[in-house]
Amino acid sequence: MKLLKDRILSEGRALNEDILKVDSFINHQVDMELMDAIGKDIADHFRDKKVTKVVTIESSGIPPAAMVAMSLGVPLVILKKQGSKVLNEDMIQTVVTSFTKGNTYELSLCTRFVNENDHVLFVDDFLANGEAATGTVRLLRQLHATIAGIGILIEKSFMPGRSKLEDAGFEVYSLARIKRLEKGVIEFLDD
Amino acid sequence: MKLLKDRILSEGRALNEDILKVDSFINHQVDMELMDAIGKDIADHFRDKKVTKVVTIESSGIPPAAMVAMSLGVPLVILKKQGSKVLNEDMIQTVVTSFTKGNTYELSLCTRFVNENDHVLFVDDFLANGEAATGTVRLLRQLHATIAGIGILIEKSFMPGRSKLEDAGFEVYSLARIKRLEKGVIEFLDD
Protein backbone atom coordinates (compact mmCIF):
# COMPACT_ATOMS: atom_id res chain seq x y z
CA MET A 1 0.00 0.00 0.00
CA LYS A 2 1.75 3.09 -1.28
CA LEU A 3 0.11 5.46 1.22
CA LEU A 4 1.46 3.49 4.19
CA LYS A 5 4.91 2.84 2.67
CA ASP A 6 5.36 6.54 1.86
CA ARG A 7 4.43 7.45 5.41
CA ILE A 8 6.86 4.90 6.85
CA LEU A 9 9.65 6.33 4.70
CA SER A 10 8.86 9.93 5.66
CA GLU A 11 8.06 9.50 9.37
CA GLY A 12 9.23 6.05 10.46
CA ARG A 13 12.49 5.85 12.39
CA ALA A 14 14.64 2.74 11.99
CA LEU A 15 16.63 2.48 15.24
CA ASN A 16 18.20 -0.93 14.53
CA GLU A 17 17.24 -4.19 12.80
CA ASP A 18 14.59 -4.88 15.44
CA ILE A 19 12.97 -1.52 16.03
CA LEU A 20 11.03 0.60 13.57
CA LYS A 21 9.36 3.49 15.42
CA VAL A 22 6.03 4.52 13.91
CA ASP A 23 4.75 6.31 17.00
CA SER A 24 3.82 9.55 15.21
CA PHE A 25 1.11 7.96 13.02
CA ILE A 26 0.33 4.38 14.17
CA ASN A 27 1.34 3.56 17.76
CA HIS A 28 1.09 6.55 20.06
CA GLN A 29 -0.25 9.37 17.89
CA VAL A 30 -2.66 7.79 15.40
CA ASP A 31 -3.59 9.27 12.01
CA MET A 32 -7.23 8.21 11.77
CA GLU A 33 -7.51 9.18 8.10
CA LEU A 34 -4.67 6.75 7.37
CA MET A 35 -6.33 4.11 9.60
CA ASP A 36 -9.55 4.55 7.64
CA ALA A 37 -7.74 3.97 4.32
CA ILE A 38 -5.89 0.97 5.80
CA GLY A 39 -9.14 -0.45 7.20
CA LYS A 40 -10.87 -0.22 3.82
CA ASP A 41 -7.89 -1.78 2.01
CA ILE A 42 -7.67 -4.81 4.33
CA ALA A 43 -11.47 -5.18 4.41
CA ASP A 44 -11.62 -5.13 0.59
CA HIS A 45 -8.92 -7.78 0.36
CA PHE A 46 -10.88 -10.20 2.57
CA ARG A 47 -14.40 -9.13 1.55
CA ASP A 48 -15.29 -12.46 -0.07
CA LYS A 49 -14.15 -14.52 2.95
CA LYS A 50 -17.47 -14.24 4.84
CA VAL A 51 -15.73 -12.62 7.82
CA THR A 52 -17.98 -12.52 10.91
CA LYS A 53 -15.50 -11.07 13.45
CA VAL A 54 -12.30 -9.05 13.37
CA VAL A 55 -9.88 -9.95 16.18
CA THR A 56 -6.88 -7.94 17.36
CA ILE A 57 -4.61 -7.66 20.41
CA GLU A 58 -4.55 -4.62 22.69
CA SER A 59 -3.52 -1.95 22.23
CA SER A 60 -1.77 -0.71 19.07
CA GLY A 61 -3.67 -3.09 16.80
CA ILE A 62 -6.99 -1.60 17.87
CA PRO A 63 -7.29 1.52 15.64
CA PRO A 64 -6.62 -0.26 12.31
CA ALA A 65 -8.59 -3.37 13.34
CA ALA A 66 -11.52 -1.17 14.37
CA MET A 67 -11.58 0.40 10.91
CA VAL A 68 -11.45 -3.02 9.23
CA ALA A 69 -14.38 -4.19 11.39
CA MET A 70 -16.28 -1.00 10.56
CA SER A 71 -15.71 -1.44 6.84
CA LEU A 72 -16.82 -5.09 6.97
CA GLY A 73 -19.79 -4.30 9.24
CA VAL A 74 -18.81 -6.90 11.86
CA PRO A 75 -17.86 -6.69 15.55
CA LEU A 76 -14.28 -6.24 16.75
CA VAL A 77 -12.98 -8.55 19.48
CA ILE A 78 -9.96 -7.31 21.45
CA LEU A 79 -7.71 -9.94 23.01
CA LYS A 80 -6.41 -8.82 26.41
CA LYS A 81 -2.74 -9.06 27.31
CA GLN A 82 -3.09 -9.20 31.08
CA GLY A 83 -4.51 -12.36 32.50
CA SER A 84 -7.62 -11.63 34.53
CA LYS A 85 -6.90 -11.89 38.24
CA VAL A 86 -10.10 -13.82 38.64
CA LEU A 87 -10.05 -16.30 35.76
CA ASN A 88 -13.71 -16.67 34.91
CA GLU A 89 -14.85 -20.01 33.62
CA ASP A 90 -15.69 -18.37 30.29
CA MET A 91 -12.14 -17.08 29.66
CA ILE A 92 -9.43 -19.02 27.82
CA GLN A 93 -5.76 -18.06 27.84
CA THR A 94 -2.48 -18.84 26.14
CA VAL A 95 1.08 -17.73 26.90
CA VAL A 96 2.87 -15.62 24.28
CA THR A 97 6.57 -14.82 24.32
CA SER A 98 7.57 -11.68 22.45
CA PHE A 99 11.15 -12.04 21.25
CA THR A 100 11.17 -8.44 20.04
CA LYS A 101 10.13 -6.97 23.37
CA GLY A 102 11.75 -9.71 25.46
CA ASN A 103 8.66 -10.37 27.57
CA THR A 104 6.00 -12.99 28.12
CA TYR A 105 2.30 -12.33 28.57
CA GLU A 106 -1.00 -14.17 28.74
CA LEU A 107 -3.45 -13.57 25.93
CA SER A 108 -7.10 -13.86 27.05
CA LEU A 109 -10.33 -14.35 25.16
CA CYS A 110 -13.88 -14.73 26.44
CA THR A 111 -15.52 -17.82 24.96
CA ARG A 112 -18.85 -15.97 24.60
CA PHE A 113 -17.49 -13.84 21.73
CA VAL A 114 -16.12 -16.41 19.27
CA ASN A 115 -17.67 -19.74 18.30
CA GLU A 116 -17.49 -22.49 15.68
CA ASN A 117 -19.64 -20.52 13.22
CA ASP A 118 -17.24 -17.57 13.15
CA HIS A 119 -14.91 -16.70 10.29
CA VAL A 120 -12.27 -14.59 11.99
CA LEU A 121 -9.94 -12.06 10.39
CA PHE A 122 -6.94 -11.29 12.62
CA VAL A 123 -5.52 -7.77 12.23
CA ASP A 124 -2.36 -6.44 13.86
CA ASP A 125 0.08 -3.58 13.35
CA PHE A 126 3.31 -5.61 13.17
CA LEU A 127 4.30 -9.14 12.11
CA ALA A 128 7.83 -10.27 12.99
CA ASN A 129 8.28 -13.67 14.66
CA GLY A 130 4.56 -14.35 14.49
CA GLU A 131 4.22 -15.17 18.19
CA ALA A 132 1.20 -12.92 18.74
CA ALA A 133 -0.54 -14.23 15.61
CA THR A 134 0.11 -17.91 16.42
CA GLY A 135 -1.06 -17.33 20.01
CA THR A 136 -4.26 -15.79 18.66
CA VAL A 137 -4.74 -18.72 16.28
CA ARG A 138 -4.35 -21.16 19.21
CA LEU A 139 -7.18 -19.43 21.11
CA LEU A 140 -9.44 -19.21 18.04
CA ARG A 141 -8.94 -22.87 17.17
CA GLN A 142 -9.71 -23.88 20.73
CA LEU A 143 -13.16 -22.37 20.06
CA HIS A 144 -13.32 -24.13 16.63
CA ALA A 145 -13.52 -20.86 14.69
CA THR A 146 -12.40 -20.64 11.05
CA ILE A 147 -9.41 -18.35 10.43
CA ALA A 148 -10.45 -16.23 7.43
CA GLY A 149 -7.02 -14.63 7.14
CA ILE A 150 -4.42 -12.38 8.69
CA GLY A 151 -4.11 -8.67 7.85
CA ILE A 152 -0.91 -6.85 8.86
CA LEU A 153 0.18 -3.24 8.52
CA ILE A 154 3.96 -3.71 8.69
CA GLU A 155 5.68 -7.02 8.10
CA LYS A 156 9.34 -7.60 8.85
CA SER A 157 9.81 -9.95 5.93
CA PHE A 158 13.30 -10.94 7.08
CA MET A 159 11.73 -12.53 10.17
CA PRO A 160 9.96 -15.93 10.17
CA GLY A 161 6.39 -14.79 11.05
CA ARG A 162 4.89 -14.97 7.57
CA SER A 163 6.32 -18.38 6.69
CA LYS A 164 5.19 -19.86 10.02
CA LEU A 165 1.64 -18.68 9.32
CA GLU A 166 1.66 -19.68 5.66
CA ASP A 167 3.04 -23.12 6.55
CA ALA A 168 0.05 -23.49 8.88
CA GLY A 169 -2.23 -22.79 5.90
CA PHE A 170 -3.22 -19.15 6.53
CA GLU A 171 -3.31 -16.28 4.08
CA VAL A 172 -1.21 -13.33 5.22
CA TYR A 173 -1.92 -9.93 3.65
CA SER A 174 0.61 -7.24 4.63
CA LEU A 175 0.40 -3.61 3.51
CA ALA A 176 4.13 -2.88 3.87
CA ARG A 177 6.73 -5.66 3.67
CA ILE A 178 10.16 -4.68 4.92
CA LYS A 179 13.09 -6.49 3.34
CA ARG A 180 15.87 -4.75 5.23
CA LEU A 181 15.92 -2.71 8.42
CA GLU A 182 18.92 -1.15 10.11
CA LYS A 183 19.76 2.14 11.78
CA GLY A 184 18.50 4.81 9.37
CA VAL A 185 17.67 2.30 6.60
CA ILE A 186 14.20 1.02 5.60
CA GLU A 187 13.88 -1.04 2.40
CA PHE A 188 10.65 -2.61 1.17
CA LEU A 189 10.08 -5.77 -0.84
CA ASP A 190 8.59 -5.20 -4.33
CA ASP A 191 10.50 -1.95 -4.80
CA MET B 1 -27.76 9.04 24.47
CA LYS B 2 -30.71 6.70 24.13
CA LEU B 3 -28.89 4.20 21.89
CA LEU B 4 -26.17 3.61 24.50
CA LYS B 5 -28.52 3.60 27.49
CA ASP B 6 -30.81 1.04 25.82
CA ARG B 7 -27.81 -1.16 25.09
CA ILE B 8 -26.55 -0.90 28.67
CA LEU B 9 -29.98 -1.93 29.94
CA SER B 10 -30.26 -4.87 27.53
CA GLU B 11 -26.66 -6.19 27.62
CA GLY B 12 -24.87 -4.58 30.57
CA ARG B 13 -24.46 -6.70 33.70
CA ALA B 14 -24.41 -4.95 37.06
CA LEU B 15 -22.36 -7.20 39.35
CA ASN B 16 -22.26 -4.84 42.34
CA GLU B 17 -22.09 -1.09 43.01
CA ASP B 18 -18.59 -0.91 41.51
CA ILE B 19 -18.74 -3.17 38.48
CA LEU B 20 -20.87 -2.76 35.39
CA LYS B 21 -19.77 -5.29 32.75
CA VAL B 22 -20.17 -4.02 29.19
CA ASP B 23 -17.78 -6.50 27.63
CA SER B 24 -20.16 -7.68 24.90
CA PHE B 25 -20.34 -4.29 23.14
CA ILE B 26 -17.68 -1.87 24.51
CA ASN B 27 -14.76 -3.50 26.32
CA HIS B 28 -13.89 -6.89 24.87
CA GLN B 29 -16.25 -7.38 21.95
CA VAL B 30 -16.83 -3.95 20.40
CA ASP B 31 -19.88 -2.95 18.35
CA MET B 32 -18.28 -0.61 15.81
CA GLU B 33 -21.62 0.69 14.54
CA LEU B 34 -22.40 1.83 18.10
CA MET B 35 -18.87 3.30 18.41
CA ASP B 36 -19.44 5.24 15.19
CA ALA B 37 -22.70 6.72 16.52
CA ILE B 38 -21.01 7.52 19.86
CA GLY B 39 -18.04 9.11 18.08
CA LYS B 40 -20.30 11.37 16.03
CA ASP B 41 -22.37 12.35 19.07
CA ILE B 42 -19.35 13.36 21.18
CA ALA B 43 -17.68 15.06 18.20
CA ASP B 44 -20.84 17.08 17.50
CA HIS B 45 -21.06 18.18 21.12
CA PHE B 46 -17.51 19.62 21.06
CA ARG B 47 -17.42 20.68 17.40
CA ASP B 48 -17.15 24.42 18.17
CA LYS B 49 -14.27 23.94 20.65
CA LYS B 50 -11.51 24.02 18.00
CA VAL B 51 -10.31 20.57 19.05
CA THR B 52 -6.89 19.72 17.53
CA LYS B 53 -6.27 16.34 19.22
CA VAL B 54 -8.34 13.62 20.84
CA VAL B 55 -6.57 11.90 23.75
CA THR B 56 -7.50 8.60 25.39
CA ILE B 57 -5.94 5.91 27.58
CA GLU B 58 -5.22 2.38 26.39
CA SER B 59 -7.02 0.21 25.79
CA SER B 60 -10.82 0.23 26.15
CA GLY B 61 -11.08 3.98 25.46
CA ILE B 62 -9.48 3.54 22.05
CA PRO B 63 -12.43 2.46 19.84
CA PRO B 64 -14.80 5.30 20.86
CA ALA B 65 -11.98 7.89 20.97
CA ALA B 66 -10.83 6.80 17.50
CA MET B 67 -14.32 7.45 16.13
CA VAL B 68 -14.47 10.88 17.79
CA ALA B 69 -11.07 11.76 16.26
CA MET B 70 -12.25 10.49 12.88
CA SER B 71 -15.43 12.57 13.04
CA LEU B 72 -13.50 15.72 14.04
CA GLY B 73 -10.75 15.05 11.46
CA VAL B 74 -7.93 15.27 14.03
CA PRO B 75 -5.27 12.81 15.27
CA LEU B 76 -5.83 10.46 18.20
CA VAL B 77 -3.15 10.29 20.90
CA ILE B 78 -3.13 7.15 23.07
CA LEU B 79 -1.67 7.47 26.57
CA LYS B 80 0.24 4.35 27.55
CA LYS B 81 -0.32 2.66 30.90
CA GLN B 82 3.02 0.93 31.26
CA GLY B 83 6.00 3.13 31.94
CA SER B 84 8.62 2.73 29.23
CA LYS B 85 11.54 0.71 30.53
CA VAL B 86 13.86 3.19 28.89
CA LEU B 87 12.37 6.55 29.80
CA ASN B 88 13.22 8.69 26.80
CA GLU B 89 13.83 12.34 27.40
CA ASP B 90 10.74 13.15 25.34
CA MET B 91 8.36 11.13 27.57
CA ILE B 92 6.51 12.53 30.58
CA GLN B 93 4.75 10.37 33.15
CA THR B 94 2.36 10.59 36.06
CA VAL B 95 1.20 8.00 38.58
CA VAL B 96 -2.50 7.09 38.59
CA THR B 97 -4.21 5.04 41.31
CA SER B 98 -7.36 3.27 40.23
CA PHE B 99 -9.61 2.79 43.25
CA THR B 100 -12.03 0.69 41.23
CA LYS B 101 -9.40 -1.77 40.06
CA GLY B 102 -7.21 -1.41 43.14
CA ASN B 103 -4.00 -0.85 41.20
CA THR B 104 -1.48 1.87 40.40
CA TYR B 105 0.06 2.56 37.02
CA GLU B 106 2.17 5.12 35.24
CA LEU B 107 0.53 7.07 32.46
CA SER B 108 2.99 8.11 29.72
CA LEU B 109 2.83 10.72 26.97
CA CYS B 110 5.42 11.69 24.40
CA THR B 111 5.98 15.44 24.42
CA ARG B 112 6.25 15.51 20.62
CA PHE B 113 2.53 14.87 20.20
CA VAL B 114 0.92 17.59 22.35
CA ASN B 115 1.97 21.22 22.65
CA GLU B 116 0.76 24.62 23.87
CA ASN B 117 -1.23 25.24 20.67
CA ASP B 118 -3.35 22.12 21.13
CA HIS B 119 -6.98 22.05 22.22
CA VAL B 120 -7.38 18.55 23.56
CA LEU B 121 -10.58 16.56 23.96
CA PHE B 122 -10.17 13.66 26.40
CA VAL B 123 -12.41 10.64 25.70
CA ASP B 124 -12.76 7.55 27.88
CA ASP B 125 -15.22 4.72 28.36
CA PHE B 126 -15.84 5.13 32.11
CA LEU B 127 -15.76 7.98 34.63
CA ALA B 128 -15.95 7.03 38.32
CA ASN B 129 -13.42 8.56 40.72
CA GLY B 130 -11.88 10.59 37.92
CA GLU B 131 -8.33 9.41 38.61
CA ALA B 132 -7.56 8.56 34.97
CA ALA B 133 -9.00 11.87 33.75
CA THR B 134 -7.17 13.98 36.34
CA GLY B 135 -3.92 12.13 35.57
CA THR B 136 -4.41 12.89 31.89
CA VAL B 137 -5.09 16.54 32.67
CA ARG B 138 -1.85 16.71 34.70
CA LEU B 139 0.15 15.48 31.70
CA LEU B 140 -1.62 17.78 29.22
CA ARG B 141 -1.15 20.84 31.46
CA GLN B 142 2.54 20.03 31.85
CA LEU B 143 2.72 20.57 28.07
CA HIS B 144 0.58 23.75 28.36
CA ALA B 145 -2.23 22.36 26.20
CA THR B 146 -5.79 23.68 26.50
CA ILE B 147 -8.35 21.12 27.72
CA ALA B 148 -11.28 21.48 25.29
CA GLY B 149 -13.45 19.11 27.29
CA ILE B 150 -14.02 15.58 28.52
CA GLY B 151 -16.26 13.08 26.70
CA ILE B 152 -17.36 9.95 28.59
CA LEU B 153 -19.47 6.96 27.57
CA ILE B 154 -20.60 5.78 31.01
CA GLU B 155 -20.48 7.96 34.11
CA LYS B 156 -21.04 6.60 37.59
CA SER B 157 -22.75 9.75 38.78
CA PHE B 158 -22.77 8.55 42.40
CA MET B 159 -18.95 8.73 42.36
CA PRO B 160 -16.97 12.00 42.66
CA GLY B 161 -15.29 12.04 39.20
CA ARG B 162 -17.56 14.58 37.52
CA SER B 163 -17.54 17.07 40.39
CA LYS B 164 -13.73 16.89 40.68
CA LEU B 165 -13.41 17.73 36.99
CA GLU B 166 -16.10 20.41 37.00
CA ASP B 167 -14.56 22.01 40.10
CA ALA B 168 -11.31 22.22 38.12
CA GLY B 169 -13.20 24.11 35.40
CA PHE B 170 -13.69 21.40 32.77
CA GLU B 171 -16.82 20.54 30.82
CA VAL B 172 -17.81 16.90 31.21
CA TYR B 173 -20.15 15.41 28.61
CA SER B 174 -21.35 11.89 29.44
CA LEU B 175 -23.61 9.79 27.23
CA ALA B 176 -25.02 7.62 30.02
CA ARG B 177 -25.12 8.84 33.62
CA ILE B 178 -25.77 6.14 36.17
CA LYS B 179 -27.53 7.21 39.35
CA ARG B 180 -27.68 3.83 41.03
CA LEU B 181 -25.82 0.58 40.47
CA GLU B 182 -26.13 -2.63 42.42
CA LYS B 183 -26.36 -6.33 41.66
CA GLY B 184 -28.92 -6.62 38.84
CA VAL B 185 -29.93 -2.93 39.05
CA ILE B 186 -28.95 -0.10 36.67
CA GLU B 187 -30.70 3.26 37.03
CA PHE B 188 -29.89 6.34 34.96
CA LEU B 189 -30.14 10.02 35.84
CA ASP B 190 -32.68 12.02 33.77
CA ASP B 191 -35.08 9.09 33.63
Ordered DSSP codes for chain A: -HHHHHHHHHH-EE-SSS-EE-IIIIISEE-HHHHHHHHHHHHHHTGGG---EEEEETTTTHHHHHHHHHHHT--EEEEBSSPPSS--TTEEEEEEEETTTTEEEEEEEEGGG--TT-EEEEEEEEESS-HHHHHHHHHHHHTT-EEEEEEEEEEETTSSHHHHHHHTT--EEEEEEEEEEETTEEEETT-
Please report, rounded to a whole number, the percentage of residues in chain B having pLDDT higher than 90: 90
The angle that helices B62-72 and B32-45 make with each other, rounded to 10 degrees, is 50
Average pLDDT of span B147-172: 98
CA distance A22 to chain B (A): 13
Confidence band, pLDDT 50/70/90 cuts, at residue A12: very high
Beta carbons of B69 and A30 less than 8 Å apart? yes
Confidence band, pLDDT 50/70/90 cuts, at residue A101: confident
- The dihedral over CA atoms of B45, B47, B51, B57, expressed in degrees to the nearest 10, equals 30
* Nearest neighbour of A63 by CB, restricted to B27, B66, B73: B66
Residue A161's CB: how many other CB atoms inside 10 A? 23
DSSP assignment of A114-154: --TT-EEEEEEEEESS-HHHHHHHHHHHHTT-EEEEEEEEE
B26 reaches A (C-beta below 8 A): no
| pLDDT for position B49 | 98
Confidence band, pLDDT 50/70/90 cuts, at residue A190: confident
Q: What is the CA radius of gyration of chain B?
A: 16
Residue in chain B lying closest to A58 (CA): B59
CA distance B13 to chain A (A): 14
Mean pLDDT over each residue of chain B, to the nearest integer: 95
| pLDDT for position B190 | 79
Average pLDDT of span B128-144: 97
Confidence band, pLDDT 50/70/90 cuts, at residue A99: confident
pTM for the structure as a whole: 0.96
> Which residues from chain B sit within 8 angstroms of residue A23, using beta carbons?
110
Per-residue pLDDT reduced to its tens digit, B22-36: 999 999 999 999 999
A35 reaches B (C-beta below 8 A): yes
What residues contact B61, with CB distance under 8 A and at least 6 apart? B123, B124, B125
Least confident of B92-96, B99-103, B117-121, B126-130: B99-103
Confidence band, pLDDT 50/70/90 cuts, at residue A89: confident
Residue B61's CB: how many other CB atoms inside 10 A? 28
| pLDDT for position B87 | 58
Per-residue pLDDT reduced to its tens digit, B173-191: 999 999 999 999 999 997 5
| pLDDT for position A191 | 57
| pLDDT for position A87 | 58
> Which residues from chain B sit within 8 angstroms of residue A33, using beta carbons?
70, 73
Confidence band, pLDDT 50/70/90 cuts, at residue B52: very high
B73 reaches A (C-beta below 8 A): yes
pLDDT higher than 60, residue B8 = yes
* Nearest neighbour of B63 by CB, restricted to A62, A80, A113: A62
Average pLDDT of span B105-134: 97
A66 reaches B (C-beta below 8 A): yes
Confidence band, pLDDT 50/70/90 cuts, at residue B145: very high
CA distance B155 to chain A (A): 22
Mean pLDDT over each residue of chain A, to the nearest integer: 95
Per-residue pLDDT reduced to its tens digit, A121-168: 999 999 999 999 999 999 999 999 999 999 999 999 999 999 999 999
| pLDDT for position A142 | 97
| pLDDT for position A103 | 85
